[in-house]
A and B are shown apart, each in its own frame.
Chain A
Amino acid sequence: MQLKNIFKFNGGVHPDENKIASTRLPIAKLAIPKKLVLPLRQHVGHVAKVKVKPGDQVFKGQIIAEADGNISAAIHAPTSGRILKISEEILPHPSGLPDFCITLEADFKDTWIEKKPIPWKKIEKTQLIETLSQSGIVGLGGAVFPTHMKLKTNQKQTIHTLVINAAECEPFITCDDMLMRERADEIIRGSLIAQTILGAEKCVIGIEDNKIEAYEALKKAAQKTTVEITVVPTLYPSGDAKRLIYLLMGIEVPKEKRSVDLGIQVFNVATVAAIYRYLEFGEPSISRIVTITGAVKTPQNYEVLFGTPLSELIKAAGGSSNKQKKFIMGGPMMGFDLPSIDVPVTKAMNCVIESSPELFPTPKPVMPCIRCARCADACPVNLQPQELYWFSKSSQLEKAREYNLFDCIECGCCTYVCPSNIPLVQFYRYAKSEIIAQDKSKEAANTARERNEFRLARLEREKKERAERHAQKALGAQDKQAEDDKKSTIAAAMERVKQNQQENIKN
């Protein structure tokens, strides 16, 4: 395992890894729970459309909600059973707000719907992507963007390099690590499939140098293939797509541009493995590997069906050992506190950490910013976190936007190094969502303006038309009068002629 030709990015930090605890045991399969709760919003994009109703019998792998439009993903029944209800349930989301979910009652027979492997080598590309849009596969690294959209290419946008993200730089998380150790073969095959679909010349896997076993497993699986495996130094956040591209290729993706604009596509290891399983065996996305770690008794990785209550996973890992019962979803750097443990496991849930006072001591008191610029040195995106903090704190949102707030990847490096213990990222999250909300209401105001102008124009037009009609009528009346006059004159004349004639006859 040697490091070669690595382009180091600026900044980054070395937080305690805390990864070993959850890698001691192999991946275990979590038992099928009695009830599964499947949120309709588990991905970026449009909410999936419900295709079942309460009482329906469904098979494992059957579509129960289909993708709505291109940027959306289908949801499948993770096991066979009966649909109980479609209702609002709490999601594993920082808001703790409920959203629509399908509840499925398992029948414990676990009968598959007929699995149809897809002869992907023979199918035409657009059709293959259409098929993949039924797979329910989304980015399993945490971005949950519908995968079939990332496989689309066109004349203007060709991909030359496929990067497989195996960095898993965030502390505590080991789900990708364990997947690579145990299913390296699936990852390599999945990578080759994705490379073929994209038409990319090269496929590079980037892995951090703290995952030796995973590296060895990948290397073995990649023998006699064209897949390259490049080791990068352990430095958070090397797993951020743009950072990883720089590390591997020395290419800096400019802001406002996406990596695909430069011909580079990035997939997570678990995502390519899911592509492989879907095409080769016809198995849609119904489960994922989740790391359960922190203060639980036996930290481990589990293969968990989507919709499984998180409490089941916690129970399997030996229950919670302290009274505090606080759980973090994602890692300690970018994750968030779960609002409750009565939430289902979703496509985005890569890791759950039980918090404890030893692992996460109460944050030290916050002090004023001393402008030491340590945050700026640590920022991997080369932002000015102290300025962003100042603008966000004082709600000067336009200024924050000007200082590239939206380039911030919320990696938390700045918060990590700040000697004044300022929760910087919380301010950026606040400022970002505030700006997004303001933009939305601006847009709504613009439509209201348009609709109002349209209405005024319509009223104006109707008024004019009415006026015209009145004028017409008045005119018509005049004409009629004239005609009547004429008619009566003629009639009078005729009368006179008649009278004259009669008189003549009499005479």
Chain B
Amino acid sequence: MITALLVMIFLAILLGLVLGYSAIKFKVDGDPMVARIDAILPQTQCGQCGYPGCKPYATAIAKGEADINQCPPGGDAGAKALAELMGMEFKPVNEKHGVQKPKSVALIDESTCIGCTLCIQACPVDAILGAAKQMHTIIASECTGCELCLPPCPVDCITMEPVLENSESWKWKYPIYNIQKAQKA
């Protein structure tokens, strides 16, 4: 009887130590749910969801403060993925926040740019190169197409150019044909 009790106590202490140790050793930084939601969000960082970026929106969803259909760049596909992750009912993107547009990148008309640096301050991913009073350029490969640089420009020299399909980014299309019903014997 005593031995059994001792064994149990010993085991309890041992397991407690193991658990306590692993809780410290394998501690996950931050909220894993936020990271998983953030992984689905398109990282355009445009703020159309009503939050100052994708991560803050992800945090708000995780806390249950925001709905899952507020991200226009993610589109319905993104909302679907979020619904799946959160175990919620899918709903299409709320048009109040905007509509999904084809992927575009910003282009600065370099002859008009006055070098005011206002767009640099607005760009969430540092995709604009330039210095005071010098012409600015956008690194197209880093631009997320968030359009945040458009309003601050005092001379309206930035436009959004849709990214065209080239022979490298070209995709095979979904096959289209009619399926015929099997004939009855």
Contacts and interface: CB of A to CB of B under 8 A. Distances in A.
Q: Do A and B come from one complex?
A: yes
Interface of A: 41, 91, 93-95, 97-99, 365-368, 370, 395, 423, 426-427, 429-430, 432-434, 437, 441, 444-449, 451-456
Given A91-B167, A93-B167, A437-B169, A446 B125 contact: no
Q: Per DSSP, are chain A's interface residues mostly helix, strand or loop, or mixed? A: helix
5 A-B pairs closest in CB distance: A95-B170, A448-B43, A445-B43, A429-B172, A451-B125
A429 B181 CA distance: 25
Contacts of A454: 126
Given A367-B179, A429-B172, A445-B43, A451 B167 contact: no
Contact of A97 (B38, B44, B170, B174): B170
A358 B87 CA distance: 55
A157 to B, nearest CB: 29
B182 interface: yes
B144 A448 contact: yes
B53 interface: yes
A452 to B, nearest CB: 5
B54 interface: yes
Interface in B131-174: 142, 144, 165-174
Interface in B27-59: 38, 41-45, 53-55
B72 interface: no
Given A93-B167, A437-B169, A449-B54, A423 B177 contact: yes
A451 B142 contact: yes
Contact of A41 (B45, B125, B167): B167
A455 B126 contact: yes
Contact of B173 (A430, A444, A447): A430
Interface of B: 38, 41-45, 53-55, 124-127, 142, 144, 165-175, 177-182
B125 A452 contact: yes
A432 B172 contact: yes
A429 B174 CA distance: 9
Contacts of B175: 423, 426-427, 430
B174 A448 contact: no
A209 to B, nearest CB: 35
Nearest to A99: B167
Contacts of B182: 367-368, 370
Nearest to A368: B179
B140 to A, nearest CB: 11
B180 A366 contact: yes
Contacts of B170: 93-95, 97, 433
Given A97-B170, A367-B180, A427-B175, 4 more contacts: A41-B167, A368-B182, A437-B169, A449-B38
Given A367-B179, A447-B142, A452 B174 contact: no
A426 B172 CA distance: 8
Nearest to A369: B179
Nearest to B177: A366
Contacts of A93: 167, 170
Contact of B45 (A94, A430, A444, A452): A452
18 contacts: A93-B170, A95-B165, A99-B167, A365-B180, A367-B182, A368-B179, A423-B177, A430-B172, A430-B174, A432-B172, A433-B170, A433-B171, A434-B172, A445-B41, A448-B144, A449-B43, A449-B55, A452-B54
